A and B are shown apart, each in its own frame.
Chain A
Amino acid sequence: MSSVAVFFQHLTNGLTLGGIYALIALGYTMVYGILKFINFAHGDILMVGAYMGMFAFDFLRGDAPLGAWTFISFLLAMIFSAVFCAVLGMFIEKVAYKPLRRAARLAPLLSAIGVSFILSNGAAWMWGTQSRKLNYPFDNSPITILGISITPHQILVLIVSFAMMVALTLFVGKSRMGKAMRATSLDQDTAQLMGINVNVVISLTFAIGSALAAVGGMLIALDYKCYPTLGTMTGLKAFVAAVVGGIGNISGAMLGGILLGLVETFGVAVLGIPQGYKDTIAFVILIIILLLKPEGILGKVEKEKV
């Protein structure tokens, strides 16, 4: 393999991983942009999304033979899981965060950590602590395109995650509610003066963020086993990705997520760091980025209002 091909190979692997991180990082950054608070339960939503998708897929597929319906039911299961998590996200916001909106800033943060435990323990209680695998029956042997070997799972992950990001960018940039979301994150009081119902915007933000996490969870489940604390480490990494990209900035979360994926992949491949230490190297590099630019790559320094 030529060194160029090797580079593109790692690039593909890194983008695949990064796409998933980006999907999850978006939820953190969108909520932070509007409420200035970190939803620490976001990673656990991803876990619930993976489980719900898994169950829905098994249910929809039934005993049908391998074929088009198998793939369609996978997509339907993804949509179901996204909708389920969107509703769950909105419900959590209403019950655990909204009553604390005017409380001290640490209160909703602690509430979020509590919700995180409730979700992961609830999953362990309902579905057991044993890890499970999504039973995705299609052949996953790699195919070679232009000298790069890529698995069908990777292709699926790349298409779905990047399509989601494009859709979100268009929604936030062009649509009426998307613009209202941006306005609310820039200045909540003034947004209300425009007739924007901030509660609706907040609910929508949680719905979209949670739906993206659910999709991310299902994409993870393609290649990894699911267990009740699945969301903890993945969520943490996506959170770091959001901070590195510039918390509150949507393009920043996408960039940070993709960057994290690339750093992890290239860290192992190029620097020859043992697989087990890949998280360490990723975090070291991210710390360096933050030392150089504390507000994140695309973040803006918040000016004190006078």
Chain B
Amino acid sequence: MGDLLAARSQMAVSLGFHILFAVVGIAMPVLMVIAETRWHRTGDAMYLELAKRWAKGTAILFAVGAVSGTVLSFELGLLWPSFMRFAGAIIGMPFSLEGFAFFAEAIFLGVYLYGWERISPRAHIAAGTVVAVSGAASALFVVIANAWMNTPAGFRLQSGLPVDVDPIAAMLTPAAFPEVLHMLLAAYAATGFAVAGIHAMMLLRDRRNAFHRRALAVALIVGVPAAIVQPFSGDISARYVARWQPPKLAAMEGQFRTEAGAPLRIGGIPDVQAERTRWALEIPGGLSLLAFHDAHAVVHGLDAVPRRDWPPVPVVHVAFQVMVALGTYLALLGLWIVVEAWRRRDLAANRWLMRAVALASPMGFLCIEAGWTVTEVGRQPWIIFGVMRTSDAVTPMPGLIVPFLVISALYCFLGVVVVWLLYDLVMRSPITRESDGAAAAPAAA
């Protein structure tokens, strides 16, 4: 393995690991605050128990997210020093703001976790709300920094160096809005369904468990709306990519040739040598329609750029297909849940629905990993799209395979431990039963 590939792999492992915990840090506080609010409204102590148990899990996940995020902030320099030297002054601003959002998150999570008996219930919910808001703000700022790498703005190039640096313009880069929207919705959908899926699994064993019924309802309130809205946000993202990063869209769709009325390909494997995508289900004019809202629009294929500027097409195409497939599953499942809840059916009693929700548990996270693969691999061979190549940004230190393997081993170990701890936490859930009459159907989302 060469140094560049090792550095890219280490970055991929570090990001892929951190994003799981970051996403939980964004969405779990919302679930906890909803549960705690319901406890105050209804006086039902089970909701308090729920908030406390979720808080325990969140505390573990947040800690791992905080330290793995620290690793990333250093790795930006450790692996890509030339990139940071070029870009630090331009995109340091969102990172700095993220620093303060992270401060707020960490401070009020401490207050939330350790303050149950020290502050008033109102202050406690307020602390949880601050954690939720600052978690979303953290995501906003970090994703803005990533958006800048896709659509660099706020500077002018003069003999290879940035001049006229404008950090504010850099933050308002075109990719910022679609990326942030898509990521935040993904965080709520993935976490909501992951949590709902776990409790659905427990309900399949014990349908009347009062604890899991309440947990399911709260988790779906967060997950379902986000999953249903997400395809619309995906449409905004795709149209932005079509406009600003045509090679990325071409790789996502396996579109080798520039053509009018380009077809939408579902599935298929791009063959880079033959410059065509095989075994895909093609819908005539579909891509043009989706990308430009015009079935006859011209879509730029990979042939529009030199081959050395192509991203790794098969990886991007397959990752995109996986993301769309899983996202569609979650959106359709969300609609099914809305219909069932609308008809005032008992969700937990519907075994097929519970199975479908249980199956959805890992899907949002897989979706997020696939989506980031599309964004990051699709940007290659550039670290700053059209401005700096990834190969020019890597650190001069040889032997980068060693830190890559060390960090990977560390994260594998932590991943296993976290899963085991959470399993243990779920298995020790309360087993209070509930009579059929009292079964609370979740409110329609």
Q: Does B associate with A?
A: no
